[in-house]
Structure 1
Amino acid sequence: MKKTFLILFLFSLTQAKSQVLISLIFGDKLNSPFLEFGLEGGVNFSDIYDMEADGANPGFNLGFYFDIRSKQNPAWMINTGVIVKSPMGARHIPLYSLENEDLDNTFAAGRVNRELRYFNVPILIKHQFKSNIYVKAGPQFGLLAKAFDSFKAEIDDNDVIYRKNIRDQVRVIDAGVAFGTGYHINAGNGINITVQYYYGLVPVMKGDGPNVYNRSLYLTAGIPIGKGKAAQRRAEKEAELNRIILPEEETTKPKN
């Protein structure tokens, strides 16, 4: 049973890109009074902690989210989803040999960026205050999609780039904690503006070398998809139900 669940979970992550497109079409069917669905994206600045590098690695992230509200207290909710595009890594790591004399000579005066690509799944507890400010925290899990070192050098005013696949050197599963805060503009169908930080707890690289960990700061905007349409559809159904019930009540009302 556990193996079946894991296979389905991993398969769902690999299909996440197509699900984003599907969500745009069926977003109104994924929203209810206690469930908000939307798309979320922005920029993130990543680093690999304890690895010699020069500055954060900037990138763009994109995914979809669910806010599952508590029926007992709607201010509390579970915030989850999939960050489909989530680049991590580090800039300007130490140059090393590619075990090819021509390549080593080409990039001798160049630099190397480590690029890591994950499907990330946060599972956070979120609390929204009456002021529309919210805070959230919880675990985040990542499934490695790609990993490579990008060598870059400038020769005769032209950029020369070589990518070395290092996926077999990187752990497939990443995990850590995420926490953040944000503001829900025009609560209801408005945009969520979030600042969130990810603190990796699982060593990035395999082997016996020093342990290094993913770190990433996210600045994102979340947009509900189909929420207004879903609310309109519920209102129309409720109005139709009232038109059916009210005449029946009038016909059964006793005469004075």
Structure 2
Amino acid sequence: MANKPKIILLFLFLTFSITGKAQVLISLLFGEKLNTDKIEFGLTGGLNRSNFNGYNDSEGLNNFNLGFYFHIMLKENSFISTGVLIKSNVGATGMPTYPIGDPEFDEIFQDGILTTKVRYFYVPIMFQQRIKNRILLEGGMQAGLRAKAFDYFNLENNGGDLEFKRQVGDDFARLDFGFVGGAGYKLKNELKSMSVGVLYYRGIVDVKKTTDAVVNNSSLNIYLRIPIGTGAKSSQN
């Protein structure tokens, strides 16, 4: 019975690994150890509105972000803000579909709508300045590593909705890079507390290999940051 907690922990780790959320589980388990007097650690997530700049006839696409963050103190009110977005889709919708070489398929979806979703692991590195310990101003750079990419062919007809999913990872560059910045607000006048804010990312890498146009990723992220493992320390202050 002494090994039962270890068995349960191993089962949870494997479960979260399969679903791509192992990093979040680790964050929850070890958040208290990662938070220090100089480092704030926690989870971040929110709504992401992305688009392809340079791609004609594209419209914004709503996604969700999930990851973890570090705020590393340089001096009072000045920090390095970094972390990893482990679940971050970018892309666009509203584009016309394209032929894939199957005459029957091409005829069915020729009047459809194309949606593209590209999964990235993004790492921002920003300078953060806090004003009166509540207002956060951030700016810096962000690098991304592409995981998978999918095109969704959608068609509405009298018989209902049709959708076809096609993997297109080879059509996109493996690496993305650009600049990111924005502002936020801490909900409590404390060094470590929840915060909400907005970040805008503008990529400078041509990420689309299969078009002559220069296509850059862009996204507007509305986030919520939650520090992990700070309750006990805060209660002692």
Q: TM-score range by the shorter chain?
A: 0.7 to 0.9
Provide the residue aligned with 1:194 in structure 2.
197
Q: Which runs of 5+ in 2 are unaligned?
A: 1-18
The whole-number CA distance in structure 2 between the counterparts of 1:16 and 1:148 is: 17
User: Aligned-pair RMSD on alpha carbons?
Assistant: 1.9
Larger strand proportion, structure 1 or 2?
2
Q: Does 1:120 align with 2:122?
A: yes
Q: Answer whether contact 1:39 1:63 (CA < 8 A) is retained.
A: yes
Q: 1:60 aligns with which of 45, 59, 64?
A: 64
Provide the residue aligned with 2:34 in structure 1.
30
* Aligned partner of residue 21 in structure 2, secondary structure: helix
Q: 2:224 aligns with which of 221, 227, 235?
A: 221
> Structure 1 residues 142 and 90, CA, compared in 2 at 3 Å: closer, same or farther?
same
For residue 228 of structure 1, report the CA deviation from its aligned partner: 2.1
For residue 115 of structure 1, report the CA deviation from its aligned partner: 1.1
| 119-128 vs 91-100, greater mean Cα deviation | 91-100
For residue 230 of structure 1, report the CA deviation from its aligned partner: 4.4
**1:192-245: CA deviations, max 9, x gaps?**
11110001011111257121100100000100010122456xx59xxxxxxxxx
Q: Answer whether contact 1:81 1:121 (CA < 8 A) is retained.
A: yes
> Structure 1 residues 214 and 116, CA, compared in 2 at 3 Å: closer, same or farther?
same
Provide the residue aligned with 1:243 in structure 2.
none
For residue 111 of structure 1, report the CA deviation from its aligned partner: 0.7
Q: Does 1:163 align with 2:170?
A: no
The whole-number CA distance in structure 2 between the counterparts of 1:90 and 1:207 is: 16
What percentage of residue pairs aligned between the two structures are identical? Answer: 38
* Aligned partner of residue 52 in structure 1, secondary structure: coil
The whole-number CA distance in structure 2 between the counterparts of 1:35 and 1:102 is: 58
Count of aligned residue pairs for this structure pair: 218
Provide the residue aligned with 1:176 in structure 2.
178
The whole-number CA distance in structure 2 between the counterparts of 1:152 and 1:145 is: 23
The TM-score normalised by the length of structure 1 is 0.80
* Aligned partner of residue 101 in structure 2, secondary structure: coil
The TM-score normalised by the length of structure 2 is 0.87
Q: Answer whether contact 1:68 1:79 (CA < 8 A) is retained.
A: yes
**1:59-96: CA deviations, max 9, x gaps?**
111110000012xx221111000011111111111221
User: Which one has a bigger Cα radius of gyration?
Assistant: 1
The whole-number CA distance in structure 2 between the counterparts of 1:219 and 1:128 is: 18
**1:82-117: CA deviations, max 9, x gaps?**
011111111111221111111112212211011111
For residue 131 of structure 1, report the CA deviation from its aligned partner: 5.4
Structure 2 residue identity aligned to 1:29: K
Provide the residue aligned with 1:206 in structure 2.
209
> Structure 1 residues 118 and 195, CA, compared in 2 at 3 Å: closer, same or farther?
same
